[in-house]
């Protein structure tokens, strides 16, 4: 069968390879893969930043955003049946099986010895067929089969938002205004979900106001500003929550200063700049003096995928066309290397395993 593989830490190693079809063991399901999304993590693995093949394998099959159909089940599987449309979650419990992993909160693992499909010690789903532990598959209703390719990135947003609401139980929180920094899929998905929940949303990123990304923000009733021509400190309002999804350290630092009294900032990005920032002191004093909270959020668990399904159904009703606008291109597996040459205006590239 065809598989998209990499050999980290080698740079730019992504290629299509013929490998043996996997067989489902006890508690596992074999999936026929429909589509796989490419994201920043896949590109960083291909750039040699991280990624680790399973023990004994010379390569790692990529792909952690996927939709498939259950083709076959191993012994003892009760949670899914042959023919179900499913999205696999990414992270699996750690070697020590810590208390969080035991409780199904693998995203909150305390040991760091977890594994992740397509990233760390487990093959991903970018192949004609793939296996997953059946308990970590999320069933998808037929009506959102097309949109389900966004469920994994959406689950990251759902986790961030649910943590925000949990943390803000520290006070009586009247909230209406949200700032989202960044208009790649995490920023756009956060914008869409926050609009769904009734927030006034301002999205700021480094894209032109005529770009598709900016149009998507406006389509759901949000406001869009090009961060390059509208500086944060010239905005005439502050926000109850800030979602930092740009991955730019300078934007992240400025975003911290954009919260109202008692506000909260959630960081979803990875910051690789090594530039010095002089305003740290002012930003931190401001956090203290305003009872502001800031936290980081990574990964997600099955519960967040299920929240995402509910929201995808709602989004489809309220903004019927918006999710399809997030798809920039669908490639056959044979053209996969094109998907790793990212261009600025691109939103989501999908590898379609059923496309001829």
Residue 343 CB contacts under 8 Å (≥ 6 apart), including other chains: none
Q: Which is nearer to Zn ion, 98 or 122 (CB)?
A: 98
- The CA distance from 2 to 63, in Å, is 13
Q: Which is nearer to Zn ion, 6 or 101 (CB)?
A: 101
CB of 91 to Zn ion, least distance (A): 9
- The CA distance from 325 to 322, in Å, is 5
CB of 105 to Zn ion, least distance (A): 9
Concatenating the DSSP letter of every residue in 209-266 gives: TTSHHHHHHHHTT-EEEETTTS-GGG-S--EEEEEE-S--HHHHHHHHTTEEEEEEEE
CB of 95 to Zn ion, least distance (A): 8
CB of 272 to Zn ion, least distance (A): 26
CB of 106 to Zn ion, least distance (A): 7
Calculate the dihedral angle through the C-alpha atoms of 64, 134, 104, 35, rounding to the nearest 10 degrees: 20
CB of 108 to Zn ion, least distance (A): 8
Tell me the site size for Zn ion, rule CB under 5 A. 5
101 near Zn ion, judged by CB under 5 A:
yes
Q: Which stretch binds Zn ion (CB under 5 A): 103-111, 249-257, 276-284, 316-324?
A: 103-111
Task: List the one residue from 4, 80, 94, 264 that touches Zn ion (CB under 5 A).
Answer: 94
CB of 256 to Zn ion, least distance (A): 30
98 near Zn ion, judged by CB under 5 A:
yes
Helix axes 151-167, 302-318, angle to 10 degrees: 100
120 near Zn ion, judged by CB under 5 A:
no
The three-class DSSP label of residue 42 is helix
Q: Which is nearer to Zn ion, 77 or 109 (CB)?
A: 109
Q: Which stretch binds Zn ion (CB under 5 A): 52-60, 72-80, 96-104, 334-342?
A: 96-104
Calculate the dihedral angle through the C-alpha atoms of 289, 252, 175, 216, rounding to the nearest 10 degrees: 160
Task: List the one residue from 6, 33, 86, 109 that touches Zn ion (CB under 5 A).
Answer: 109
Q: Which is nearer to Zn ion, 111 or 291 (CB)?
A: 111
Q: Report residue 138: phi and psi, to 5°.
A: -115, 120
- The CA distance from 128 to 123, in Å, is 13
Draw the binding track, 126-155, toward Zn ion (x: CB under 5 A; -: no contact). ------------------------------
Q: Which is nearer to Zn ion, 127 or 299 (CB)?
A: 299
Give the binding site for Zn ion (CB under 5 A): 94, 98, 101, 109, 111
């Amino acid at each position: 069968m065809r598989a998209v593989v990499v050999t980290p830490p080698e740079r730019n190693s992504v290629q299509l390879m013929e490998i043996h079809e996997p067989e489902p063991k006890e508690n596992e399901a074999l999936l026929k893969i429909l589509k796989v999304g490419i994201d920043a993590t896949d590109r960083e693995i291909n750039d040699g930043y991280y990624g680790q093949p399973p023990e004994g394998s010379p390569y790692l099959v990529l792909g952690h955003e996927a939709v498939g159909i259950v083709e076959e089940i191993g012994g003892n599987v009760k949670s899914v049946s042959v023919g179900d449309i499913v999205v696999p979650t990414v992270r699996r419990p750690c070697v020590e099986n810590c208390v969080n992993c035991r409780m199904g909160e693998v995203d909150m693992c305390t040991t760091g010895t977890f594994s992740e499909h397509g990233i760390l010690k487990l093959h991903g789903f970018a192949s004609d067929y793939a296996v997953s532990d059946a308990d970590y598959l999320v069933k998808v209703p037929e009506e959102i089969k097309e949109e389900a390719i966004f469920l994994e990135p959406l689950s990251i947003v759902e986790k961030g938002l649910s943590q925000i609401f949990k943390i803000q139980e520290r006070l009586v929180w009247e909230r209406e205004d949200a700032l989202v920094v960044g208009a790649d899929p995490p920023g756009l998905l956060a914008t869409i979900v926050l609009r769904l929940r009734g927030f006034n949303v301002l999205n700021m990123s480094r894209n032109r106001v005529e770009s598709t990304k900016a149009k998507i923000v406006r389509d759901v009733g949000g406001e869009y500003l090009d961060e390059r021509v509208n500086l944060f400190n010239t905005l005439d309002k502050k926000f109850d929550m800030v979602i930092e999804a740009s991955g730019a350290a300078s934007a992240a630092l400025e975003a911290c200063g954009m919260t109202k009294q008692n506000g909260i900032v959630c960081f979803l990005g990875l910051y690789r700049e090594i530039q010095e920032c002089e305003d740290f002191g002012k930003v931190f004093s401001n956090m203290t003096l305003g009872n502001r909270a800031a936290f980081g959020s990574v990964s997600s668990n099955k519960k967040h995928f299920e929240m995402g399904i509910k929201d995808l159904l709602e989004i489809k009703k309220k903004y019927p066309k918006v999710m399809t606008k997030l798809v920039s291109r669908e490639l056959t597996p044979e053209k996969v290397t094109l998907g790793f040459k990212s261009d600025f205006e691109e939103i989501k590239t999908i590898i379609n395993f059923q496309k001829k």
